[in-house]
Amino acid sequence: MNKQEVLKKFIKQLIIENYSEQTIRNYTSALKLFLKYIKNLKAKKVTNKEIQNYLYYCKTEKKYSYSSMKQVVATISYLYKKILKKPVPSALEVKFRRPGVLPAVLSVKEITKILNATRNLKHKTIVLLIYSAGLRLNELLELKIADIDSAVMKIHIKQGKGKKDRYVMLSENVLKLLREYYKIYRPKKYIFEGQYGGKYSPTSVQNVFRRALKNAGINKKVTVHTLRHSFATHLLDSGTDIRYIQELLGHKKLETTQIYTHISSYSINKIKSPADKLEMVI
């Protein structure tokens, strides 16, 4: 098979196995880079050494993160198992050490500053909706008008990460903004649509957030996804049971949600230092 045939068969198999659109895009992008790297070889003839060199190249030259490296391994493994029908090369049996980096979080005060500095109604609604429900960027872009249920104050997240549905709360403040937004913009299918219809682009949302940060005078290195981290941390700060937060975020494993216990002021402040038991004269 030539490169195009491999890609076509690869994508077809992912679709058959019901992978999400986002996963298909990510896997396809990773496969294209791998095939480009081994362009002078046939995939079936690639050795363990060459795969190890590629992983080393991704880490040292491309500066791939922990999650990106995991995706590279998953992509190449899928290629061998499902498309080439060959045993997965032993070079892909890698156990990556998870970095101990905590996610950046914005305070409630900073979130308020961002919203107050965002004058455009559409942009303000986007930022508040992501934060209020802890949405992933793709989940926001996939939201349709029918997914907002004001009768029970819930938002139906359909086919989120892992192709799973879930419900999240609908904020009273968000509902007010959505109603004002709808009167002006009149979206036809998706809640947030581009200038000429269709889904709003992820790049547009990222640009909206960057401008909001600049207007609010916030210089932290944060992204749109930081709003989701902030949502989870602020819930934990207010004493919400972490198992409920897990459900709201759509995490498969509780361990994924537990990272927020490391950055929550609630979990830190409720523990008394042993120094407080000392009878000292100050």
Give residue 180's pLDDT.
95
Residue from 78, 190, 200, 260 carrying the catalytic annotation: 260
Q: What is the pLDDT of residues 8-34, one digit of tens each?
A: 999 999 999 988 888 899 999 999 999
Which domains are delineated in the chain?
Answer: 3-92 (1.10.150.130), 108-268 (1.10.443.10)
Question: pTM of the entire structure?
Answer: 0.72
Please give the residue that has the higher pLDDT: either 101 or 188: 188
Say whether 251 is catalytic: yes
Active site residue 161: yes
pLDDT at 104: 87
Report the residue count for the chain.
282
Given 122, 123, 124, 228, the catalytic residue: 228
Marked catalytic residue, from 82, 144, 161, 166? 161
pLDDT at site 156: 94
Is the pLDDT confidence value at 267 over 80?
no
Tell me which of 122, 199, 229, 251 is the catalytic residue. Answer: 251
To which residue do tokens 């493994």 refer? Answer: 77
DSSP three-state, residue 240: coil
**What would the mean pLDDT of 200-214 be, rounded to a whole number?**
95
| Contact present, 80 and 87 (Cβ < 8 Å) | yes
The pLDDT assigned to 110 comes to 94
Residue 259 pLDDT: 78
Q: For residues 54 and 37, is the Cβ–Cβ distance under 8 A? A: yes
Which one from 136, 199, 229, 234 is the annotated catalytic residue?
Answer: 136
Most confident of 56-65, 238-247, 249-258, 269-278: 56-65
- 200 noted as active-site residue: no
pLDDT in tens, 156-196: 998 767 678 899 999 999 999 999 999 999 999 999 998 88
Read off the pLDDT of residues 103-116 as tens digits, 9 standing for 90 and up.
889 999 999 999 99
Counting residues of the chain whose pLDDT is more than 90, the rounded percentage is: 62
- Per-residue confidence (pLDDT) for residue 240, from 0 to 100: 86
Torsion angle of C-alpha atoms 77, 250, 261, 237, degrees rounded to 10? 160
pLDDT of residue 202: 93
- The count of other CB atoms within 10 Å of the CB of residue 100 is 7
Active site annotation includes 260: yes
In this structure, the number of other CB atoms found within 10 A of the CB of residue 35 comes to 18
* pLDDT 10s digits, 32-50: 999 999 887 666 678 899 9
228 is catalytic: yes
In the predicted model, is pLDDT for residue 253 greater than 80?
yes
